[in-house]
Amino acid sequence: MSDVSFDLDELLDDARAATGLSDFGPDDFREGLGKLLETYDRNGFDEDARRHNRGRVLGLLTERLRIEDAWTKHPEIRDVRIEAPMYLTGLPRTGTSALLNLLSQDPAMRPMELWEGMNPSPLPGNPPKDDDPRYLGIKAFTDQMYDENPDFAKIHHTSADTAEECIHLLNHTFQDVQFGVECLMEPYGSWFQEQDHRASYLYYADILRMLQWCRPGERFLLKSPAHLWALDILVDMFPDCSIVITHRDPVECVGSYASMMEALMTGRTFDRKELGPTVMEYLATKLEYSQRCRNEIEAARIIDIGFTDLVADPLGIVHRIYEHFGIPMTRQLEKAFSDYTAAHPQGEHGTHDYRLDEYGLTERQILDRFAFYTERFAPGERA
């Protein structure tokens, strides 16, 4: 019998006690939270992992209380305009992180850094990040994480200062992919894929306004593979947004993502040969959904980028993106992009190795499942 409780009401009470606040906002988050807690409780996590998962949920709940408190104290936050945001999305492992870091060299782009994504609410006086104890805490945490697990940098390198996935903002709604592993387990996985995500994204949009209110920028640069579940919603919320979708051979994507999910599933016993097919089906279903969405979106709103093209000519890809969306390119910008590319070659954090057969998959299985995708986009040769 575990000593770690995933009782929903108990967690809500703990969050209230930790903050002295009581308003969680709309109750629509409770259903997803309940499914998430049930998933953490039922899927064989050991005691350390159960404590970690509970602590993470408690952290999200305490931050949600602070977010709601900030909106109450500063209702003007919800009036902030988000101008022409650029979204990067695509299957995981298709180069979205590399492209995010490259485009972030444009001073007009305003990426979300990891530390503020995990702590979007303002502190009194809105201190600069170097004086913000939450930034210092995230920096210490990520430094320790790589000290303990240096190989994870080969899969996905991040730090407190890194431009990161805006999925961290959606985490506070409890109707999102969370770390990604949760969508591969039941009951959360099936529940999530059946949801209309509009309410969750409206909440997310207001948190974006909070970040802009705290630390203004010209154009948000936002990234997450999870946005494939919400292309239509993004365009409805931000009619002037631009969307960059990256593509790669699905054999590479599925194998690499299965390896990444394994690395994140610490403290849980599972069958690797069952993990691979689960990952494959989840990614294929997400792609199918996104293709139905994009069929209703104006073509000029989206540009498709191949992974092999990005690796071979990153500067050329930046020029394509800027030209497609009518963004001016200056010599200063070209130099900034060029200098960054020279300083950050592909694979600078090491090589990510994996074998499909270890995850119960074959190339033929993946190619057959993703034929609907490769016939339309022809992602190209494997990297």
User: What H or E segment, with its residue span, contains residue 230?
Assistant: none
Amino acid identity of 32?
G
Q: Residue 145: its pLDDT value, please? A: 66
Torsion sign, CA atoms 150, 151, 152, 156: positive
Percent of the chain with pLDDT over 70: 93
* 18-29 mean pLDDT: 98
Contacts 24+ apart (CB under 8 A), 71-77: 71/25, 71/206, 71/210, 72/23, 74/122, 74/213, 76/213, 77/206, 77/209, 77/210, 77/213
Please check the confidence at residue 137 and state whether its pLDDT lies above 90: no
Tokens representing 83? Answer: 């101008």
Residue from 134, 132, 131, 155 nearest 145 by CA: 155
Please check the confidence at residue 379 and state whether its pLDDT lies above 90: no
Please check the confidence at residue 107 and state whether its pLDDT lies above 50: yes
**221 φ, ψ to 5°?**
-115, 110
Q: Residue 158: its pLDDT value, please? A: 64
Q: Residue 157: its pLDDT value, please? A: 55
Residue 131 pLDDT class (50, 70, 90 cuts): confident
Please check the confidence at residue 152 and state whether its pLDDT lies above 60: no
Residue 142 pLDDT class (50, 70, 90 cuts): confident
Q: Residue 54: its pLDDT value, please? A: 98
Higher pLDDT, residue 89 or 348:
89
Predicted TM-score (pTM) of this structure? 0.92
Residue 169 and residue 203: Cα distance in Å, rounded?
A: 9
Pairing of strands 302-306, 219-223: unpaired
Q: Of 51-60, 71-80, 157-166, 269-278, give the lowest mean pLDDT range.
A: 157-166
Higher pLDDT, residue 124 or 38:
38
Amino acid identity of 349?
H
DSSP state of 195: S
Please check the confidence at residue 347 and state whether its pLDDT lies above 70: no
Contacts 24+ apart (CB under 8 A), 355-360: 355/255, 356/251, 356/254, 356/255, 356/276, 358/272, 358/273, 358/276, 359/255, 359/258, 359/259, 359/272, 359/273, 359/275, 359/276, 359/277, 359/279, 360/272, 360/273, 360/274, 360/275, 360/276, 360/277
Tokens representing 176? Answer: 């999102």
Please check the confidence at residue 382 and state whether its pLDDT lies above 50: no
Contacts (Cβ under 8 Å, ≥6 apart) of 66: 19, 21, 121
Q: Residue 141: its pLDDT value, please? A: 78
Q: Residue 383: its pLDDT value, please? A: 37
Percent of the chain with pLDDT over 90: 81
Name the percent of the chain in helix, strand, coil, to the closest 5: 60, 5, 35
Instruction: State pLDDT tens for residues 212-228.
Output: 999 999 999 999 999 99
